[in-house]
Amino acid sequence: MRLFLLCAYVLLFSGLFSTAFALGPELASAAKQQDTAAQGNTIGKPSGEEVFKANCARCHMPPMSLSPRITGTVVMHMRARARLSREDEKLLLKYLAP
């Protein structure tokens, strides 16, 4: 049992931490860029792109493209599944089918 737990934890987290340390400088740079972008949002509300990235990737790989003809249908479906707010739905629609 102990061996199983030890192996599992080591495998799970060693890859994660080694990757994090190896890419430390690049990740810090990316995070800084994101902070700058967030500060540039004058009204403090997320953009459609931010809502898209923050919510779609919670469960699955976000689609690369989406036909505008069914954007409304798909966003309704996702709003019901992911329990998104009406405001998030509006931002997503504006982002995906401007």
Partner 1 sequence: MRIAQLRYEFRIASYMLVLMLGAVLSGSLTAQETKPSENHAGYIPAISGGLGYVHNVNGGITSLEPQINPVLLVPFGSHVLLESRTSFTGFFERRDLTSGPFTGKVFKEVDYAQVNWLANTHIIATAGRYLLPFGLYSDRLGPLWIRNLQDTPITATIGTRTSGSGDGFMLRGVVVQKPSYSVQYTAYFSALSNINQLQSARTAGGDVSIYFPRARLEAGTSYQRFLQDHEINSSATYISWQPSSMPLDIKVEGDYSYNGRGYWIESAYLLKQLPISQIFQRTQIVSRMQQFFPTNGGGNSLPTVNTNRFDIGLNYYFRDDLRFISSYGRTFSSHGNANIWNVGFTYRFLFPLWPGRTK
Q: Which residues bind partner 1 (CB under 8 A)?
A: 1, 4-5, 7-9, 11-12, 15-16, 19-20, 23, 26-27, 30-31, 34, 38, 44-46, 50-51, 53-55, 57-64, 66-77, 79-90, 93-94, 96-98
- Measured from the CB atom, is 26 or 36 closer to partner 1? 26
Closest CA to 51 of 6, 16, 18, 86: 86
Distance, in Å, from the CA atom of 57 to the CA atom of 49, rounded to the nearest integer, reads 12
Closest CB 47 distance from partner 1, rounded Å: 12
User: Alpha carbon of 80 to those of 18, 21, 74: distances in Å?
Assistant: 38, 38, 10
